Amino acid sequence: MYKLAVFVSGRGSNLSAILSEIHKGNLKAEVSAVVSNKSDCGAIESAKKENIPTFVVGKSFENGEIDYSTLSEKLQNFSIDLIVLAGFLKKIPADFINSFKQKIINIHPALLPSFGGKGMYGINVHRAVFESSAKISGPTVHFVDEIYDNGKIINQQSVDISDVKTPEEIAERVLKLEHKILPDTIKLFTENKIKLDNNRVTIN
Ligand code: GRF
């Protein structure tokens, strides 16, 4: 079975979308671990309900929190095939990224390479898109490297936002697409259809 670790820190709607596709039998994978920097978020609650092992990473390694090298060992023991960042806001240390080369992906709620980077998360992203008067937005799934929102783009989808009145309306339209594109992209990984050749990602 293709094994996923999903990193979260918020409400966990993307985690739920992944789990729902797994339950429907559309995605042949299992979520073997959920990792968060917050012990009490919605995503962790959902994981616990499904009896998925959860790990909390943090600065102070008390109260059950662990550091990234311990986490790396634990995930290697689980034989994780793909790490999916779905709303995980903390910067991941370079050592950790290097030990899971081309095995970490992130979903960003705008069309990269625009509207990404430090501080570009949550409503900040949609506000920046709104204020730019961009006519389209949409989610981007990309590989994770040491720089925020910088890794090669794997998949994107756009939606018309020319008529929106608020950043929240953009968020709503983009989130709907996130819940489709993320499980779809994971499925492409499980089918070995994503290739990174000559510095370009292709879907075969
Ligand atoms: C999503 O908008 C995702 O693109 C971003 O963080 C948000 C997470 O939402 N990286 P949720 O916790 O999956 O509901």
pTM metric for this prediction: 0.96
pLDDT at 110 over 70: yes
Instruction: Report the nearest-CA residue for atom 12 of ligand 1.
Output: 12
Ligand 1 lined by 149 (C-beta under 6 Å)? no
Cis peptide before 109 (omega within 30 of 0): no
Strand partners, 4: 31, 82
User: Ligand 1 center to residue 107 CA distance, Å?
Assistant: 7
The pLDDT assigned to 8 comes to 96
Pocket probe mutation, ligand 1, options 14, 112, 180, max atoms within 8 Å of Cβ: 14
User: pLDDT grade, residue 61 (50/70/90)?
Assistant: low
Q: What is the pLDDT of residue 66?
A: 84
For ligand 1, whether the C-beta of 11 sits within 6 Å is yes
DSSP 191: T
Confidence tier at 128 by pLDDT (50, 70, 90): very high
**Residue 193: its pLDDT value, please?**
98
Quick: pLDDT tens for 159-184: 999 999 999 999 999 999 999 999 99
The whole-angstrom separation of Cα 74 and Cα 61 is 15
Position 63 scores a pLDDT of: 66
Rounded Cα distance between 36 and 52, Å, is: 13
Q: What residue has token string 């102070």?
A: 60
| Mean pLDDT (whole number) for 72-77 | 95
Question: Residue 46: left (phi > 0), alpha (psi -120 to 50), or beta?
Answer: alpha
Cβ within 8 Å of residue 121, ≥6 positions away: 89
The top-scoring range by mean pLDDT among 39-48, 67-76, 88-97, 174-183 is 174-183
The verdict on the CB of residue 111 being under 6 Å from ligand 1 is: no
Looking at residue 182, its amino acid is: L
| 184: helix, strand or coil | helix
Residue 60 is predicted with a pLDDT of 62
82 bridge partner residues: 4
Taking only the tens place, the pLDDT of each residue in 20-32 is 999 999 999 999 9
**Predicted local confidence at residue 180, as pLDDT:** 98
For residue 138 and ligand 1, the question of a CB distance below 6 A is answered with: no
Beta carbon of 109 within 6 Å of any ligand 1 atom:
yes
Beta bridge partners of 54: 34
In the structure, what pLDDT confidence band is assigned to residue 62 with cuts at 50, 70 and 90? low
Residues with catalytic function: 108
Q: CB neighbours (10 Å) of residue 136?
A: 12
Q: What percent of the chain has pLDDT over 70?
A: 97
Atom 5 of ligand 1, nearest CA residue: 87
- The 8-class DSSP code of residue 113 comes to T
**CB-hemisphere CA count at 13 Å for 131?**
7
Helix 13-24 and helix 167-190, axial crossing angle in degrees, nearest 10: 40
